[in-house]
Structure 1
Amino acid sequence: MSAITLKNVEKWYGPVQVIKGIDLEVAPGEFVVFVGPSGCGKSTLLRMIGGLEEISRGELLIDGRNATSEAPSQRGLSMVFQSYALYPHMSVAENMGFSLKTAGAPKSEIDAKVGAAAEVLKLDPLLERRPKDLSGGQRQRVAIGRSIVRDPTAFLFDEPLSNLDAALRVEMRYEIAKLHQRLQKAMIYVTHDQIEAMTLADRIVVLDAGRIAQVGTPRELYERPANLFVAQFIGSPKMNVMECSVAGGSWQVEGGRGAPGAPAGAVHLGIRPEHISILPAGQGACDGVVDVTEYLGADTFLVVDCGPLGRLTVRVIGDTDINPGDTCGLGFDTEWLSFFDSDGQALR
Structure 2
Amino acid sequence: MGSIKLEGVEKWFGDVQVIKGIDLDIEDGEFVIFVGPSGCGKSTLLRMIGGLEETSRGAIRIDGRDVTAEPPAKRGLTMVFQSYALYPHMSVRDNMGFSLKTAGAPKSEIDTKVNHAASVLKLEQYLDRRPKDLSGGQRQRVAIGRSIVRDPTAFLFDEPLSNLDAALRVEMRYEIAKLHQSLGSTMIYVTHDQVEAMTLADKIVVLDFGKVAQVGSPRELYERPANLFVAQFIGSPKMNVIPCSTEGTSYSLSGGRGGDYHGAGEATQLGIRPEHMEIMSVGEGALDSVIDVVEYLGADCFVILDCGALGKLTSRVSGETALKSGERVGLSFPTDRIHFFDRAGKAVD
TM-score range with shorter-chain normalisation?
over 0.9
| Deviation, structure 1 residue 195 | 1.0
- Superposition pairs for residues 42-57 of structure 1, below 5 Å? 42-57=42-57
- Secondary structure of the corresponding residue to residue 152 of structure 1: coil
| Deviation, structure 1 residue 261 | 2.4
| Deviation, structure 1 residue 2 | 6.4
Q: RMSD across aligned C-alpha pairs, in angstroms? A: 0.9
- Secondary structure of the corresponding residue to residue 244 of structure 2: strand
Between the aligned partners of 2:290 and 2:16, the Cα distance in structure 1 is 47
Q: What letter is aligned with 1:65? A: R
| Deviation, structure 1 residue 319 | 2.5
Does structure 1 retain, via aligned residues, the 8 Å contact 2:2–2:186? no
Does structure 2 retain, via aligned residues, the 8 Å contact 1:262–1:339? no
Q: What letter is aligned with 1:111? A: D
Between the aligned partners of 1:147 and 1:280, the Cα distance in structure 2 is 58
| Deviation, structure 1 residue 64 | 0.8
User: Does structure 1 residue 27 correspond to structure 2 residue 27?
Assistant: yes
Counterpart of 1:333?
334
Between the aligned partners of 1:219 and 1:310, the Cα distance in structure 2 is 28
Between the aligned partners of 1:327 and 1:262, the Cα distance in structure 2 is 29
Q: What letter is aligned with 1:315? A: R
| Deviation, structure 1 residue 308 | 1.4
- Superposition pairs for residues 264-283 of structure 1, below 5 Å? 264-283=265-284
- Secondary structure of the corresponding residue to residue 54 of structure 2: coil
Does structure 1 retain, via aligned residues, the 8 Å contact 2:77–2:155? yes
Q: What letter is aligned with 1:5? A: K
- Superposition pairs for residues 173-188 of structure 1, below 5 Å? 173-188=173-188
* Deviations 1:154-210, CA, capped at 9 Å, x for gaps: 000000000001111010000000000000001000001111000000010000000
* Deviations 1:242-297, CA, capped at 9 Å, x for gaps: 11111121111111112222423111110100111110001000000011111111
Does structure 2 retain, via aligned residues, the 8 Å contact 1:2–1:64? no
Between the aligned partners of 1:141 and 1:293, the Cα distance in structure 2 is 40
Counterpart of 2:288?
287
Between the aligned partners of 1:326 and 1:2, the Cα distance in structure 2 is 57
Unpaired segments ≥5 residues, structure 1? none
Between the aligned partners of 1:260 and 1:35, the Cα distance in structure 2 is 34
* Deviations 1:303-343, CA, capped at 9 Å, x for gaps: 10001111110010222111111110001111111111110
Q: What letter is aligned with 2:289? A: G
**What is the identity percentage for the equivalent residue pairs of Structure 1 and Structure 2?**
72
Between the aligned partners of 1:2 and 1:46, the Cα distance in structure 2 is 15
Counterpart of 1:103?
103
Counterpart of 2:229?
229
Q: What letter is aligned with 1:310? A: G
User: Does structure 1 residue 134 correspond to structure 2 residue 134?
Assistant: yes
Q: What letter is aligned with 2:21? A: G
Does structure 1 retain, via aligned residues, the 8 Å contact 2:155–2:187? yes
Q: Please, which moves more after superposition, 35-44 or 313-322?
A: 313-322
- Secondary structure of the corresponding residue to residue 290 of structure 1: strand
Counterpart of 2:60?
60
Counterpart of 2:144?
144
Between the aligned partners of 2:192 and 2:303, the Cα distance in structure 1 is 25
Q: What letter is aligned with 2:154? A: A
Between the aligned partners of 1:317 and 1:10, the Cα distance in structure 2 is 47
Between the aligned partners of 1:118 and 1:234, the Cα distance in structure 2 is 35
Does structure 2 retain, via aligned residues, the 8 Å contact 1:10–1:18? yes
Counterpart of 1:258?
258
Q: What letter is aligned with 1:202? A: D
Does structure 2 retain, via aligned residues, the 8 Å contact 1:158–1:189? yes
Counterpart of 1:315?
316
Between the aligned partners of 1:85 and 1:295, the Cα distance in structure 2 is 41
Q: What letter is aligned with 1:249? A: T
Counterpart of 2:193?
193
Does structure 2 retain, via aligned residues, the 8 Å contact 1:32–1:188? yes
- Superposition pairs for residues 290-305 of structure 1, below 5 Å? 290-305=291-306
Does structure 2 retain, via aligned residues, the 8 Å contact 1:4–1:27? yes
Unpaired segments ≥5 residues, structure 2? none
Q: What letter is aligned with 1:24? A: L
Tell me the TM-score normalised to structure 1 length.
0.99
Tell me the TM-score normalised to structure 2 length.
0.98
Between the aligned partners of 1:2 and 1:224, the Cα distance in structure 2 is 29
Between the aligned partners of 2:34 and 2:88, the Cα distance in structure 1 is 31
- Superposition pairs for residues 110-121 of structure 1, below 5 Å? 110-121=110-121
Does structure 2 retain, via aligned residues, the 8 Å contact 1:117–1:149? yes
Counterpart of 1:41?
41
| Deviation, structure 1 residue 49 | 0.5
Runs of 4+ in structure 1 deviating by more than 4 angstroms, as ranges, are none
Between the aligned partners of 2:247 and 2:322, the Cα distance in structure 1 is 37
